[in-house]
Amino acid sequence: MPWGMLSGRVRGTGQRIEGGWPHELPGRLPVGRGDRASYQIEGAANEDGRGASIWDAFSHTPGNVYRGDTGDIACDHFHRLEEDLDLMAELGLKAYRFSVAWPRIQPEGSGEVNRAGLDFYRRLVEGLRRRNIEPMLTLYHWDLPQALEDRGGWTSRETSERFAEYAEIVYEALSDDVEFWITLNEPWVASWLGHEAGVHAPGRRSTSEALLATHHLLLGHGLAMERMRSANREGNHLGATLSLSPVRASREKDEKAAKLVDGNVNRLYLDPLLRGEYPKDMVEHYREVSDFGFVRDGDLEKISSPNDFLGVNFYMRHTVREDDSPEASFPSVGARIVIPHNVRKTAMGWPVEPDGLTELLVRVNEEYGPIPIYVTENGIAVHDYVDPEGSVNDKERVEYLDSHFRAAGEAMERGVDVRGYMVWSLMDNFEWAEGYSKRFGLVYVDYPTGKRIPKSSFRWYSDVMRRGGVGEAFRSKNTRSKERVARSHAPSPS
């Protein structure tokens, strides 16, 4: 994809941002991005001064992760950095989103900086730049230093303050070479799967603690933005990434449950981040477990400080039914997920409904925008295997990405300012509580040997990027149909 200029007005500022990824032509979606998280890929858990994270503690506790898998070695990206950078160049990536491991920078979560940890990320950024790949840095992808968890973790306001200090350290070190910065990745997952469901680190099971974690993660975002803005690095773009899902009621009587799920999954994060308030219906709903007294004067102003962009991670639409049982998908709002009939499912059991991405992007734009949006994660787990010829034919992934690129293109045609699209993920990796049992990558990883095998989706995606984006082949069927009708009614040339 050729370079160009970004332009767009940021909600609440009246300012324009420039530089970075372009819109190429109307209806063309800028693709060419890859994605990964530090604990899922790096390995080297006890090397170069790295401290323990909550995922180290969680994964080493029997029963928490499938078959007892851990991220101790993962994809060994720490030692295979140059090999993986060459893979990115071979793929033709235009940008690469990665996360920094907080305990690799501050082993105790505060205080002394581990220079060897910073040097690793310097080498990563320098390697990307040498290969003309734009780095997009995420400061927090769930690997909180265990030392901070021991003092309360995200249920403690102190962690928000420590996060801002850590963000300032990394920004000072890398902001001259990294233009795009994301504070948090998917705070809903960290809050609710980690603090209510207990299926992610740190493994807590309390609705009130999930609400505390929600606020302190968002406050950490606001405080980090304040620190980074104060550095006056002109041209850098700062934002946050949310995991968002459109929500539908399975039946008419499930409408209330659907609204509450939407409030929990989407509005509990979108509203404070982009409107400076928590949704009133959710504050009222949770009144029995929390009075929201953790929200202090000035907090929401910090949380809603202007973002240059919003990162959106999309994997599925939620179709829900009311369910008050403790085993419900969303116990705090009394709802469970159901899979619609005749909908294909991924290896994770998630429904494949690409029009949900269009619905989501249009909704965010209309209700919270206009704001530049990056699709910072989208992808599919497939039951991949190496065939006798040594190849991995993942046609399901190609079909999935094709349909979702089309869906994002449809959103652009409907006025959504989509600036870029990142595929999850570059390579198979440690998939949190699922261990190594689920594969999302464009590159197959043979974990015992570390061997990388590009899948058929790797070659397909590379071809998409060589074409310079999605372009004609990915414009919506509806638009192409309208154009055919218009041509059929056009006067014949004389």
Instruction: Show which residues are catalytic.
Output: 186, 377
- Residues 232, 70: Cα–Cα separation, whole Å: 40
Residue tagged 């369910």 (tokens)? 323
- Residues 168, 155: Cα–Cα separation, whole Å: 22
Residue tagged 């406050």 (tokens)? 219
Q: Is residue 165 within a helix (H) or strand (E), and if so which, with residue range?
A: helix 157-174
Do the Cβ atoms of 420 and 97 come closer than 8 Å?
Answer: no
- Residues 218, 212: Cα–Cα separation, whole Å: 10
Please list, in sequence order, all residues whose beta carbon lies within 8 angstroms of the beta carbon of residue 486, skipping any fewer than 6 positions away. Answer: none
8-state DSSP, 226: H
Residue tagged 């900086």 (tokens)? 113
Q: Is residue 149 within a helix (H) or strand (E), and if so which, with residue range?
A: helix 146-149
Please list, in sequence order, all residues whose beta carbon lies within 8 angstroms of the beta carbon of residue 370, skipping any fewer than 6 positions away. Answer: 8, 9, 11, 417
CB atoms within 10 A of CB 307: 23
Task: Identify residue 233 by its one-letter amino acid code.
Answer: R
- Residues 121, 105: Cα–Cα separation, whole Å: 10
Structural tokens at position 266: 């989407």
β-pair partners for 243: 313
Residue tagged 């090397």 (tokens)? 47
CB atoms within 10 A of CB 491: 5
Do the Cβ atoms of 345 and 247 come closer than 8 Å?
Answer: no
Do the Cβ atoms of 346 and 381 come closer than 8 Å?
Answer: yes
Helix (H, G, I), strand (E, B) or coil at 349: coil
Residue tagged 């040339």 (tokens)? 493
- Residues 227, 211: Cα–Cα separation, whole Å: 24
Please list, in sequence order, all residues whose beta carbon lies within 8 angstroms of the beta carbon of residue 226, skipping any fewer than 6 positions away. Answer: 164, 302, 305
How far is CA 120 from each of CA 81, 175, 385, rounded to the nearest angstrom?
9, 15, 32
Helix (H, G, I), strand (E, B) or coil at 58: helix
Structural tokens at position 154: 């995200």
Nearest CA-CA partner of 262 in 337, 205, 162, 207: 337
